[in-house]
Amino acid sequence: MSHPHLLLSAGAHDRLGVRRKDPDWLAERWHDASSRALVVSGTRVRPVEGALPWVETAEAPDGVRVLLGERDGTTHWAVITGPEAAESQEGEWYPLRGLLPALAGDQVVDAPLVFHALGLAEWHWATRHCPRCGGRLAPEAAGHELRCTVCGRTQFPRTDPAVIMLVTSGEPGADDELCLLGRSPQWPEGRYSTLAGFCEPGETLEDAVRREVAEEAGVVVGEVTYFGNQPWPLPQSLMLGFVGRAVTTEIDLADDELADARWLTRAQMRDEATAGGLVLPGGVSISRSLIEHWYGGPLPGQW
């Protein structure tokens, strides 16, 4: 079966990394009439009639020019301006999570470009001073590096690895096989998802899966197998999907990271999702892919 989260990577662009320090080439492509730019105010974008506003570079405001790359013969850029741009213009400006509806349908091919643009915008927004000396940072390499103007140290964009896992118990494929879902304290009743957490320094991804499940739900996990990954720059994560086999099934929510955790059979999942009592993650998330991969097909309803 196809996995919904892969849609957000379907239009991957050539990032043209070897061109980022070629000023003549950058200037030529910026002034080319076919090039397009996405204007980012701080970390927000303003959709126009539900679509992402790729503008001609000649119409883009002043700001940090970020080379995103090339797709279908068109060079794409992001222009990062201060947050005051959003305050001075009409229309609603959205962070990445609010833009996901605009990445549905035909526009899903823009997702890798938008993830690239807003991931770098978030990094520029959060990285203002050199961590070594506190000096001012200046953008280089078409927005992909920040160099300290005092000590010369270079900063590079951050991506934090986060594990997301579907934990199962019982004979694989059997009618009574179970999967574990949890509900965050911030979520409404009925909303459940796979468990997730960040990888700590010096930790393997598999051990991160085991630790997070033990901390959040008190369940011991043994075998861990890789499933897939999904860029998720909210603000700077890479979601790494796994399937874990439980050694124990008793749930203990001692650390209060979850409001609830449940074991569900496929029949229970189908019946509750159909009735609306169980609300599962959206179709473009790797969490949804993990759940439907285990279930064996599409399920009704989503956030």
Token pair for residue 14?
């050539």
* Whether CATH 3.90.79 fits 4-126: yes
State the alpha helices, DSSP H only, in 5-131.
Answer: 23-30, 84-88, 96-99, 111-126
Q: Which residue shows structure tokens 């990285």?
A: 127
E strand or H helix at 273, and its extent?
Answer: helix 266-275
pLDDT at residue 145 tops 70: yes
- Tell me which amino acid residue 187 is: W
Token pair for residue 221?
């996990």
Which residues contact residue 186 at a Cβ distance below 8 angstroms, ignoring those fewer than 6 apart? none
pLDDT at residue 2 tops 70: no
% of the chain exceeding 90 in pLDDT: 78
Class for the domain spanning 160-295: alpha beta
Domain boundaries, the chain: 4-126, 128-158, 160-295
pLDDT at residue 1 tops 70: no
Residue-wise pLDDT tens digits, 21-77: 999 999 999 999 999 999 999 999 998 888 888 999 999 999 999 999 999 999 999
